[in-house]
Amino acid sequence: MKNIITISRQFGSGGREIGEKAAAKLGYKYYDKEIIEKLAEKTGLAKEYIRKAGEYAPSKSMFSYAFIARNRDGTSITDYLYRVQRELVLEIADEGPCVIVGRCADYILRERGDCLNVFIRGALDSKIERVTKLYSVSADKAKKIIKDADKKRSINYKYCAEREWGVMKNYDICLCSTALGIEKCVDLICAAAK
């Protein structure tokens, strides 16, 4: 029995919807925006900043890194936020069965034996279709949003977890939502958790 399910996902793959539905089906708590709200409470940082920080590259070069915002004690805001986020994810996992979307939860909880780490990907065309509908943008704009978001997730994960995002070996189960469909992904995750 896997008590904790972490969902990492490509932008536009439906990973959030899949996570939410899996949590509902399993009777697990669901954490996504709730984590951002809790982090805002704990850190005093704005929700929008935290939301973006989760998908933001803290530094694209050693040069720019020197100029990122720092706390009074010298740690960067990125490092500070990750430290608080890490503590929060550990606390949440201790509270009981849950589904956690994003936030490097797979890495943060890597030492627990009751974690199922899931990655949801999709074909580019279907991700574009999903994003154009959800955000009312053109296909070209959707493509750019997807590319940018995944790049930022990848760099943020690499920075915090010091390993590669979206690489098979870091997950227990990787599903293509285009080939399988949202409902089938939900069913497979629930079956894998049981």
Report the interface residues with a copy of itself, using CB under 8 A.
116-117, 119, 121, 166-169, 171-176, 179-180, 184, 187-188, 191-192
Q: CB 165 → a copy of itself: shortest distance, Å? A: 11
DSSP 8-state symbol, 179: H
Q: CB 185 → a copy of itself: shortest distance, Å? A: 9
Q: 39, 88 in Cβ contact below 8 A? A: yes
Torsion of CA 40, 43, 44, 50, to 10 degrees: -50
**Would you tell me how many other CB atoms lie within 10 Å of the CB of residue 34?**
15
Q: 173, 6 in Cβ contact below 8 A? A: no
Nearer residue to a copy of itself within complex by CB, 12 or 58: 12
> How are the residues of the chain apportioned to helix, strand and coil, as percentages rounded to the nearest 5?
55, 15, 30
Nearer residue to a copy of itself within complex by CB, 40 or 180: 180
Q: CB 99 → a copy of itself: shortest distance, Å? A: 17
Nearer residue to a copy of itself within complex by CB, 78 or 177: 177
Q: CB 174 → a copy of itself: shortest distance, Å? A: 4
Terminal-to-terminal C-alpha distance of the chain? 5
- How far apart, in whole angstroms, are the C-alpha atoms of residue 142 and residue 133? 9
Q: CB 173 → a copy of itself: shortest distance, Å? A: 6
